Amino acid sequence: MDKQRIAVDVAVLGAGIIGSCCAYNLARSGLKVALIDPARPTAGSSGACDGFLSVSTKAPGITMDLAVASRALYPDLVAALGGEVEFERQDSMLVVEDEADLSKIAAHVDTVRATGSDIAMIERRAICTHEPTLNPDMAGAALTRGDFKVSPYRMTFALARAALAQGAIALWNDKPVAFDIAGGSVRSVETDRAIVTAEQFVFAAGVWSEALGAMVGLTIPVVPRRGELVVTDRLAAPPRHVLVSAKYLTAKADPDAAKTSPDPLVRLGHGFVLETTATGQCVIGSTRTFSGFDRSSSAEGVGAIVSEAVRRVPSLARAQVLRSFAGLRPFVPDKKPIIGRSGRLSNVLVATGHEGDGITLAPITGALIAALVRGQSASLDITALTPDRFATAA
């Protein structure tokens, strides 16, 4: 059977929140877009995560700069989408359990404050005044005012729908199987059901990016990093803030510690984080392990998440766990996302490797890719994020 032939300006491969945001920005600018995914929006990482949008949990440098820019874009983007995506302000607290970590977190707070964020350390005796649900034995905390949260499911689908409303073509459950390459550029992608010719291509395939890159000879070293989450029933008095442990930052930034540490929590990459949903339920995490493409949650991981959450928020001992689930974060060895144009294939751009920061960084990533596709200058210096950095290292 002959496959459908489609001609567009830009083919976006991957319809998670990053790909959908790229497609939305491109279609809104007047380009004809095909949004291609082997499954559907939210079938991957974007449908298996929390929706906390923050700056304080990001690594200082380019990732934090991206988060600041993205946070500024979110309100207008949500307003333009016009749908209910459960976007709302929720202040957050970075909780310090050990006295020995206070100086490190104070230094981190100074770095975050320098970005213009409203963040400050609070003393131990004031912690429960701000957050009555917290265990008073915590050593200290940093309070951030002006953080947000969003429903990852709703946001991803809203972006995909908005892209389609602007004329984009959706090819769901349609897997790329081959590319036609000539003269240092990609001419078309063949999927299970279609042959899509495009002027430019955006690779936004999340944890599947390495395999996609290999199909065209690009090195995109994205590795799946599993994260487990637990969802409770509704609490009568849920936490007022998004709660994040200082140890969450360590687990996120130091994956090698899991290989050598005798501490079972470190080996699981555990870092406490809690977000209260619009319905009063708690989404609690999380773990960080390299388990291939296995998305099953483990008894060990769920047990650690629950016991550590109760230790910090004692009232959770009375909550019922409704379900647990796991997702795969697109991890890059140098811990920075990959955003930019390929130097090897002139019409291929890459937007992937955001690890656990994809929900926060989607708006700025979509805006940057749209600017590069249209031949405009990026609003931030993203030289360090080029996909060519891996080929050079090799």
Shared-domain flag, residues 358 and 308? no
Assess whether 239 and 309 both reside in one domain: yes
Q: Which two tokens stand for residue 14?
A: 């991957």
Among all chains, which residue has been given the structure tokens 């700025």?
364
Residue 344 and residue 332 in contact, taking contact as beta carbons nearer than 8 Å = no
Structurally, the chain folds into a number of domains equal to 2
> pTM of the prediction?
0.96
Residue indicated by tokens 């290292």: 393
Q: For residue 176, give the CATH number of its domain.
A: 3.50.50.60
What pLDDT is recorded for position 258?
75
249 with 313, same domain: the answer is: yes
Q: 206: burial class by Cβ within 10 Å (0-12, 13-18, 19+)?
A: buried
Same domain, 282 and 362: no
pLDDT of residue 300: 96
Domain boundary among the residues 310, 331, 352 is at: 331
> Is 271 found in the same domain as 228?
yes
CATH of the domain at 142: 3.30.9.10
Please report the pLDDT score of residue 393 as a whole number: 46
How many Å apart are CA 374 and CA 31, to the nearest integer? Answer: 9
- Residues 214, 202 within the same domain: yes
Based on the fold, state whether residues 168 and 127 are members of the same structural domain: no
Distance set, CA 95 to CA 68, 146, 242, 277 (Å) = 21, 17, 10, 20
Residue 377 located in a structural domain: yes
Per residue, the 3-state secondary structure of 78-133, as one string, reads: HHHHCCCCCCEECCEEEEECCHHHHHHHHHHHHHHHCCCCEEEEECHHHHHHHCCC
239 and 353 together in one domain: no
Range of the domain at 357: 4-47+153-222+334-393
Q: What is the pLDDT of residue 1?
A: 63
What are the Cα distances from residue 237, in Å, to 233, 234, 277, 315, 316? 12, 9, 12, 9, 10
pLDDT at site 388? 96
Q: 389 lies in a domain?
A: yes
Instruction: For the chain of 394 residues, list the mean pLDDT of each consecutive stretch of 10.
Output: 92 98 98 97 92 94 97 96 91 94 94 96 92 95 95 96 97 97 97 98 98 97 97 94 90 78 89 92 94 95 96 95 96 96 97 96 98 96 96 56
Looking at 312, 331, 350, the residue that finishes a domain is 331
What is residue 286's predicted lDDT score, i.e. its pLDDT? 92
Residues 128 and 274 in one domain: yes
In the listed set 331, 360, 379, which residue is the last one of a domain according to the structure? 331
Same domain, 173 and 320: no
**Together in a domain, 134 and 235:** yes
